[in-house]
Amino acid sequence: MRGIDFKLETVTALFMHGFQVDRNTRVAELRPASVDGVTRYWYRAMLGAHLGLGEIRQREARVLGSAESGAGVAFVIESRTPGKRDRPLLPQHAGGGQPRGGGGGGRSHPSPSPSIDPGHSFTLRLLRPRASFPESDLVEAAWAFWAAVHLGGFGQRARRGAGSLRILEVEPAGGSSSLALPPATPDTANSQALARFLGTGLAAMRLAVRATNGVRPKPRSFPWLAADLNEGSLSSIQVVDLGEGVRDEQGARAAVMRGLQRYKSPVFGLPYMKEAPGDPQIKGGSIRHASPVWIHIHRGGGPPGPGPTRFLSTVTWLPSDSLGTGIRGISQEQVQRLHRYLEELPGTRVQVGGGA
């Protein structure tokens, strides 16, 4: 097997851009480097509950490549020209929504940005860099990408439902394989069925990485996906039905953001916080915490466009020691607000192995 082909479809607007910084010249485009970067994030999260930090670095360099060790799995995108237009990054404020800051008298702030249309299909091919490259390492990279698709997203606002994809087909390229490949996304509008699919997939992913299940390191400075979601582990994955009132992808993204507003806290990465040693400085010394909560939007039932469509969201919390009391300016009360949000979600909890 020379590679693995993922036939993909955008579920929500994909705000993926090139090198242009100026908003007036920015162009939406499909970028293999961006997909590579997100896949690396989920690869580390996938191994974080099993291996030591040094082992994770060595394994990532071997599978996905590094400047020192050379090329790893290559990401190649094949696509027709996608439909594009400006869409709001903050859809909860679009169409006469709440002014920025929540106070009266302000202007609406939808923050338009170039995006690739929902419903655009394209192919991502993962390729072995050389004939001697282990096929099992290629499959590991494929599982990390599978996790990125079903639990996260790509481009701007990926943690809040933008850039959500679904997998239509998974096929070996350039030969067959005896190894189990990640499954395609089911076409279901039922939260229980989606939770069972994710639980089964995560169990298969755990087997594919051949990690030592008995090793449970403490939470690290980077987010990680716990090995066992069934027995009080720190990670949490829930599937939430966004309701009958949500009719399109913009409405789904708006519903996600409105659901977070009453829990607004630095642990969600929304407001700015006190700076801490080693943190990147922006806006005169303030820093922004990358949210440990990833919200992916799933479209279930029926083709894109007019007609009955049900939207679900997958809410994933990846813990790290950045959320400890006093670390990075986050108080225990703010962490408790995150726990309250997770506890009050009207969702179906995902259990590894397929239960819900």
- The structure tokens 């923050």 sit at 111
Q: How does residue 221 score in pLDDT terms, banded at 50, 70 and 90?
A: low
Backbone angles phi, psi at 251, to 5 degrees: -65, -35
Count the neighbouring beta carbons within 10 Å of the beta carbon of residue 340.
13
In a domain, 166, yes or no: yes
Which of 61-65, 94-98, 223-227 tops mean pLDDT?
Answer: 61-65
In a domain, 100, yes or no: no
pLDDT in tens, 79-108: 999 999 999 988 888 753 333 333 333 344
Number of domains in the chain: 1
In a domain, 102, yes or no: no
- Would you state the structure tokens that stand for residue 231, as one six-digit string? 């027995």
In a domain, 88, yes or no: yes
Q: What is the four-CA torsion angle of 144, 203, 153, 250, rounded to 10 degrees?
A: 160
Angle at 294 between CA 228 and CA 21, to 5 degrees: 145
Which domain does 216 fall in, by range?
Answer: 3-95+109-349
DSSP single-letter state for residue 174:
S
Angle at 286 between CA 258 and CA 336, to 5 degrees: 50
In a domain, 101, yes or no: no
pLDDT at 130 > cutoff 70: yes
pLDDT at 40 > cutoff 70: yes
In a domain, 354, yes or no: no
Q: Are 109 and 272 in contact (CB under 8 A)?
A: no
Residues whose CB falls within 8 Å of the CB of residue 9, separated by 6 or more in sequence, listed in order: 119, 120, 121, 165, 166, 168, 304
**Any idea which of 192-206, 297-311, 332-346 has the lowest mean pLDDT?**
297-311
In a domain, 37, yes or no: yes
Residue 114 CA to residue 87 CA, distance in Å, equals 6
Residue 161 CA to residue 168 CA, distance in Å, equals 19
Q: Are 78 and 3 in contact (CB under 8 A)?
A: no
pLDDT in tens, 326-344: 445 556 777 777 778 888 8
Residue 26: half-sphere exposure toward Cβ, Cα within 13 Å: 16
In a domain, 149, yes or no: yes
